[in-house]
Structure 1
């Protein structure tokens, strides 16, 4: 029996506030992260994801405090990513209430970080965040980016997804930079291709616009669906998404 599909609101946080843009640009203030996390939990969210999109050293203290306050408010798993560069960073975030840790740029710069985190805390703690864009420079047609999609790496997205899971990443957050914030639907081809190379759970992210956009992402191979702007704007609730999934024959919690 397959596990129930998870619906995950994502809070992109900058300077202690939730923000949202299109294609990772033109960020707008969407509210207080602790209040929003509580609100989505009440709607039935299965998990909450925090991504610190401007994770600089001087905002680290803000992030730890925010994670602690949120963990006290909610009773579902909390994933925190952004600026995680070491095992010590992971240790501290877990100690203030995070359940899983998202890694991205630091793992690209030093892939051994994934091995180190997995060895100390277990694979289930690591969510590898993949910001992916279409590119003719990659054999698969998909390339990994950093800095909110602004900087292309030389990494083929599928090769990196495969390597990262072999190193110990327990889950992949597959975010389409091209679809991000557009509300035109998930990049189903991208989800399918990652599914072919990765045996760990996949979270589809980027592009959700209507409740009907979510079931196809599961059909393409995702184990969970993540969205931000459709929830923050009030256009959809977590319940709306779960209802659409149920109607499509997908098991939800």
Structure 2
């Protein structure tokens, strides 16, 4: 099974932004320019995250996704502010291939089943923002890592898959933007109990971190932002490092 390399594009309004621990957001540039660049570098998918959608109660990425779908020909996953089957339908019509749901699913878990039944489980990605609360224990958060849910991450991941989620987007709030590597224990804990792909997100600082996410964290895909946005590595560099370590990735 090949490991997917997925650039993560956090969006606020019309801008691509980046933060640390999902806070202190800095404007990077125009999302379309970066999407095209990563597509040309051989991205397997693109992940769009509306980071303020929960605050405003809606996702505002339709135009950005519509433009991307016209000249980026890899799967697009969109997450943030999607609260209903109608919201999901609108985003798919705009050009998304998959949708990630976090806040609305924690408040009404049956939404996972509704989306999976209507559009297929492969379309329904359960997005989990995890914060470490003790050794070997993590709590699920919403609203860009600000709101605690009281839910155990591993138990929630299991339940989400039982309800129909076909994939888990697992973001470590503790590691996000730190360049210190993924939370490998978190990844392994979730990957060890769910039969669906797990996307590692939060903390990638160097190409070797992708290798560790797969080898030690048992991730099926790796999402990355800072390392690409600031030109510290290209997707080609990361692909080369993965292949050298024996991790299967798509070659261009």
- TM-score grouping bracket, smaller chain normalisation: over 0.9
| Structure 1 residue corresponding to 2:144, chosen from 127, 143, 148 | 148
Q: Does 1:228 align with 2:238?
A: no
Output the TM-score relative to the length of structure 1: 0.95
Whether contact under 8 Å (1:140, 1:158) holds in the other structure is no
1:124-167 deviation digits (Å, cap 9, x = unpaired): 0011111001114xx95111011111121110000000000010
Secondary structure of the residue aligned to 1:198 is: coil
Matches within 5 A, 1:117-128: 117-128=115-126
CA pair 58-69 structure 1, distance change in 2 beyond 3 A: farther
Count of aligned positions = 248
* Cα distance in 2 between the residues matched to 1:195 and 1:96: 31
CA contact (8 A) 1:140 1:157 kept: no
Q: Structure 2: which 5+ residue stretches go unaligned?
A: none
Q: Residue in 2 aligned with 1:108? A: 106
Asked if the contact 1:34–1:73 (Cα under 8 Å) also holds between the matched residues in 2, the reply is no
| Cα separation, 2, equivalents of 1:127 and 1:242 | 24
Deviation string 1:57-85 (CA, Å, 9 cap, x unpaired) is 5874x411111001111000000010000
- Match of residue 127, structure 2, among 126, 129, 133: 129
Query: Are 2:167 and 1:163 aligned?
Result: no
Contact 2:136-2:185 at 8 Å conserved across structures: no
Note the residue ranges of structure 1 that are not aligned, 5 or more in a row: none
1:175 to 2:206 alignment: no
* Structure 1 runs, 4 residues or longer, greater than 2 Å off: 56-60
TM-score, structure 2 normalization: 0.96
SS of 2:232's equivalent? coil
